[in-house]
Amino acid sequence: MNSLELVESFSEFKDVKNIDRPTLMKVLEDIFRSVIRKKYETDENFDVIVNTEKGDLEIWHRREIVPDGEVENPATQIALSEALLQEPDFQVGEETYEAVSIESFGRRAILTIRQTLVQKILELEKDEIFKKYNDRVGDIVTGEVYQVWKKEVLLLDDDGNELILPKGEMIPSDIYKKGDTLRAVVKSVEFRNNSPLVIMSRTSPLFLAKLLEQEVPEVFDGIIVIRKIVRAPGERAKVAVESYDDRIDPVGACVGMKGSRIHGIVRELRNENIDIINFTNNNSLLIQRALSPARINSIELYNDVMKAAVFLAPDQVSLAIGKGGLNIKLACQLTGYDIDVFRDTDEEEYDVDLDEFADEIEGWIIDELKSIGCDTAKSVLELSVDDLVRRADLEEETIREVIKILKEEFEED
């Protein structure tokens, strides 16, 4: 083939990685057949041979030899006298094969072919990338950081395909620079500006689920099933697991000997604390396990409104609530119950729920005190001003005013 433009085109296309050879050959053949039809009105008697490895293409025109003067269709028939110019021993009824020069289509047609090829190949590559990653949604992929922007990180996979890790899908303590390698789960694939956009995530519960699947053979084999995962990325996660084999302890299997299995996952998630608990259909027991490491004295369930009242010893309240209310928040998400924590004391003494002071204390202040386990007046008064300032997101002046109001209640009593 003498056309420099098309030779260069094939040299580019033979390196395409995302498109299989049969598909590429079919596209090239279809494009050239369309050009043949424009010139000869039919492509039935033409053989298009594509060699994508060498970047070459051949077109052969096949015609039946007929007696002189009986040619009805020059595209499918050739006169004997003309055929004999090619081979002196040709006879009527045989077929001739003539090579068709690409230049015979004209320079304009050649340029059009090149442009069409480029467009078709780009479209095929986009479709293949979309199909490839759409089938891998939920799988972990390793990528190399190519560029770091303010709102997202651009990654390249092993084939050079672009992946996007948005800031919101990164663990807060994630810091990357060009050349770093990271793992993330494929969250979604979508078309944006007519190009496939592969969105990755390190904050999705799926990422933790897949890490467990990689580290714990029993999870991979389906012997241990992950019932639910809730996360505060980079801080804490709770995972409910269940075993189909009574001989296997699902929690112990996931944690591993001396934490050998879970430690690698914790490091990957930037020291995120991971609580593995046994799943159960007993909602009361599930709530108890979800509020670990706190020890619960008793629980009252209100299934009609999906609420639970949990009673704990005073020294267990802060454990149940957790730093910034994180432990109880994740427990609520894991169990599906709205959990309220109450101090359980042996002595029956007069106390007043903080909600009773709604006329004197603003609601957001009451909510802040309740978030640190102070649901009643005496639970607030038991703590010093310094403790309340340290644990609650309130000003000292506000806390002193609240204490004054609460003390007046007991003095009046």
Helix 363-371 × helix 396-412 angle, to 10°: 90
Task: Residues 4-131: name the CATH superfamily.
Answer: NusA, N-terminal domain (3.30.1480.10)
- CA 317, 323, 326, 327 dihedral sign is negative
The 10 Å CB-count burial string (b at 16+, else e) for 47-61 is: ebebebeebebebeb
Give yes or no for residue 12 having a pLDDT over 60. Answer: no
- Tokens standing for 99? 């090579």
Residue partners of 84: CB distance under 8 A and separation at least 6: 90
Give yes or no for residue 395 having a pLDDT over 80. Answer: yes
More confident residue, 9 or 47: 47
Give yes or no for residue 354 having a pLDDT over 50. Answer: yes
Domain with CATH 2.40.50.140 in the chain: 136-203
Give yes or no for residue 327 having a pLDDT over 50. Answer: yes
Yes or no: domain 136-203 corresponds to CATH 3.40.1130.10: no
Percent of the chain residues past pLDDT 70, beyond the cut: 92
Closest CA to 240 of 201, 205, 269, 204: 205
Question: What DSSP string runs through 219-256?
Answer: HHTTSEEEEEEEEETTTEEEEEEEESSTTS-HHHHHH-
Report pLDDT for 305: 93
Report pLDDT for 17: 54
Domain with CATH 1.10.150 in the chain: 354-412
Report pLDDT for 128: 84
Report pLDDT for 249: 93
- Tokens standing for 32? 């050239």
Give yes or no for residue 343 having a pLDDT over 70. Answer: yes
Report pLDDT for 73: 82
- Tokens standing for 48? 């298009």
Report pLDDT for 98: 84
Percent of the chain residues past pLDDT 90, beyond the cut: 43
Report pLDDT for 263: 94
Do residues 146 and 155 lie in contact, with contact meaning Cβ atoms separated by under 8 Å?
yes
Q: 0.85 exceeded by the pTM?
A: no
Cα atoms in the 13 Å half-sphere on the side-chain side of 24 = 25
Q: What residue type is 359 in one-letter code?
A: D
Q: How far apart are CA 222 and CA 173, in angstroms?
A: 32
Give yes or no for residue 60 having a pLDDT over 90. Answer: no
Give yes or no for residue 76 having a pLDDT over 50. Answer: yes
Domain with CATH 3.30.1480.10 in the chain: 4-131
3-state SS assignment for residue 200: strand
Give yes or no for residue 4 having a pLDDT over 50. Answer: no
Q: How far apart are CA 71 and CA 81, in angstroms?
A: 11
Catalogue the long-range contacts made by 35-43 (C-beta closer than 8 Å, 24 or more residues apart). 35/105, 35/109, 35/112, 35/113, 36/100, 38/109, 39/105, 40/75, 41/75, 42/75, 42/76
- Preceding peptide of 293 cis, ω within 30°: yes
Report pLDDT for 20: 65
Alpha helices in 216-362 (DSSP H): 217-220, 250-255, 260-268, 283-290, 314-321, 326-335
Q: What are 198-237's pLDDT values in tens digits? A: 999 999 999 999 999 999 999 999 999 999 999 999 999 9
- Tokens standing for 321? 């609530």
Report pLDDT for 186: 96
Report pLDDT for 167: 95
Give yes or no for residue 19 having a pLDDT over 80. Answer: no
Give yes or no for residue 52 having a pLDDT over 80. Answer: no
Q: What are 168-181's pLDDT values in tens digits? A: 999 999 999 999 99
β-pairing, 296-302 vs 307-312, is antiparallel
Report pLDDT for 141: 95
Report pLDDT for 173: 92
More confident residue, 256 or 117: 256
Give yes or no for residue 88 having a pLDDT over 70. Answer: yes
Other beta carbons within 10 Å of 13:
19
pLDDT band at 350 (very low <50, low <70, confident <90, very high): low
Count Cβ atoms within 10 A of the Cβ of residue 246 and give its class: 0-12 exposed, 13-18 middle, 19 or more buried: exposed
Measured in residues, the chain has a length of: 413
Q: Which CATH number fits domain 354-412: 1.10.3470, 1.25.40, 1.10.150, 1.10.8?
A: 1.10.150
